[in-house]
Amino acid sequence: MKKSGILLIMLLSVLTGAKAQNIDDALRYSQVFYTGSARFMSMGGAFTALGGDLSAISLNPAGTAVFRSSEFSLTPQLYYNTTSSVWNGSKSKDASSLFNLNQIGIVSNIISTNNEKGLVNLNIAYSYNRTNNFTENITISGISNNSSMADFWASRANGNSKNNMPDDAWAAYQTGLIDTLSGSNTSYGTVFSRYGDNPYSTYGQQIKRVITNTGYSGEHSFSIGANISNKFFLGTTLGISRIKYTGHLEHLESDVNNLIYDFKSFTYTDHLEATGTGYSLKLGAIIKPVEFLRIGLAVQSPTVYRITENYYDDLSVHFDTKVNNVDSYEYSNNPASYKYTLTTPLRVNAGLAFQIKKLAIISADYEFVDYSTSRFSNAIDNLSFSAENDSISVKYKSASNLRLGAELRLSNIYLRGGYSYYGKAFKSNTDNKNLDYSSVSFGIGFRQQNFYFDLGCALMSSSRLYFMYSDPGYLKPASVATTRNTFTATFGYKFGI
């Protein structure tokens, strides 16, 4: 079926889509970048052994027991993300920003005694903290001399009859980007090769991909903590996590230099919306063997999410010549909806904190998480996730995360600094084996007896490889560098002192 055979595909067509969950989803929803109050963020999130901050409850529930009075805090945040990409020698930049509520929480004494031994106090607390921001804009642009996304769709179609190919390839077939080779019903060529008549293909088209992602993950923590003899602080937390993610991309290829026979341009749009709620349980302890030292340990169970996805895609193609006064075609698959369960990895945190009289605090955290244990399950349509789960086991590995923080007290003024490192999640035989994240943070705070006000800033950087589609041996990845800039301000009030 050449282009002349698709005259009736001028109108929007529909077909059930086949967007499947993939390992990118598993990693996206499993990663936690601890943010929260301005003090917490300024000190790199190194609070496993410290406690005493409402954001620390999400990290180690034993921190609930450290509070000596009831307290409320609220933290708005300004988030600014910048990206730069390099592909085929061409550089592009993009940016995104948003203003959000990063943290809110309250802790209250329900039992408070004057005892030096035994139960000193029992506290309950609620805290909400954002654990990841998905918002980012990425632009990738350049000239392609040996590949097109049409080649990817042709490879997806190869080996299938016209009525049995994957949905994205079917859209390419219906719009004339790909077609069967002469004498075959299961092999396909593209407009770039004149559907097999020019086996070497002609390229030189401009490719531009614009990615617009939005959303977040956040956790509601409900905690209870007990202070035993001012030496042992124990706590437990029920975590209710919420994710909201929108992934949108537009992939444009255009023959700007008029090199390709009968081809002008095509635009492919891919849109995914996901929402989900997950539950986890945390147990933690802080031990203070001597006055200047605290030792913290916390274990978080896997978070079990129930996720709903809605997906649609669209392809529009424009040609140079008209057939029966038609030179453009459009095809859309039916919007699709999926429900499934994702179980994220168990997390273990350990920390040390040193207090130098009333002058300074130094803290350090270590976190272990094994991303290869993430699992998909319980699809509403009973589809098997064995292939996806096998890919997770093969491509991901355990990661070690490190957080460091320091605070210097100058009367009522507090100066803070921190560093955090989130280790490599991909195994050494994968393209993004070197993907990690590092963050430098700093801040300042002012405290009176009942009121405190803190400011914090964190700059997180990472660099990764991004493949626009699969065309091994021809398509080169884009290099994408990202900087997440977060600015927070915390307003806090202590009562019942």
Residue 31: CB partners within 8 Å, gap ≥ 6?
132, 422, 425
Do residues 407 and 361 lie in contact, with contact meaning Cβ atoms separated by under 8 Å? yes
* Confidence bin at 11 (pLDDT 50/70/90): very low
Q: Give me Rg for the CA atoms of the chain.
A: 27
pLDDT in tens, 172-207: 999 999 999 988 999 999 999 999 888 788 999 999
The CA distance from 49 to 67, in Å, is: 13
| Residue 14 pLDDT grade (very low, low, confident, very high; cuts 50, 70, 90) | very low
Q: At residue 1, does pLDDT exceed 70? A: no
Average pLDDT for residues 277-298, to the nearest whole number? 97
pLDDT at 10: 30
CA distance 482 to 211: 13
Task: Give Cα 155 distance to the centre of its chain.
Answer: 29
431 in Cβ contact with 465 (< 8 Å)? yes
Question: What is the average per-residue pLDDT within 443-450?
Answer: 94
86 pLDDT more than 80: yes
* pLDDT at position 478: 97
283-294: average pLDDT: 96
Residue 8 pLDDT greater than 80, yes or no: no
Angstrom CA distances, 132 to 74, 204, 376, stand at: 18, 39, 20
Read off the pLDDT of residues 369-383 as tens digits, 9 standing for 90 and up.
Answer: 999 999 999 877 677
pLDDT per residue as tens digits for the range 221-253? 999 999 999 999 999 999 999 999 999 999 999
Q: For the chain, what are the domain ranges?
A: 3-148+203-495
Burial of 14 (0-12, 13-18, 19+ CB in 10 A): exposed
The residue written with tokens 């490879």 in the block is 155
pLDDT grade for 116, boundaries at 50, 70 and 90: confident
Which of the residue ranges 244-253, 323-332, 452-461 would you say has the lowest mean pLDDT?
323-332
Q: How confident is the model at residue 18 (pLDDT cuts 50, 70, 90)?
A: very low
Q: Per-residue pLDDT tens for 144-155? A: 999 999 999 999
Burial class (CB in 10 A: 0-12, 13-18, 19+), 313: buried
CATH architecture of 3-148+203-495: Beta Barrel (2.40)
The per-residue pLDDT of the chain, averaged, comes to 92
Q: What is the pTM of this model?
A: 0.91
Given a cut of 60, whether residue 16 has pLDDT beyond it is no
3 state SS of 390: helix
Q: Looking at the predicted structure, is the pLDDT value of residue 491 above 80? A: yes
Per DSSP, the three-state class of 66 is helix
Nearest one of 365, 406, 369, 293 to 48, comparing CA atoms: 365
Paired with 269 in beta bridges are 250, 314
Dihedral angle at the C-alpha atoms of 385, 390, 392, 393, nearest 10 degrees? 140
| Complete DSSP assignment for 194-260 | GGGTSTT----EEEEEEEEEEEEEEEEEEEEEEEETTTEEEEEEEEEEEEEEEEEEEEEEE-TTS-S
From the list 133, 121, 157, 109, the residue with the least C-alpha distance to 215 is 133
Res 2: pLDDT: 42
Query: Does residue 256 surpass a pLDDT of 90?
Result: yes
Arithmetic mean of pLDDT, 344-365 = 96
Contacts of 448 (CB under 8 A, 6+ apart): 412
pLDDT at 20: 53
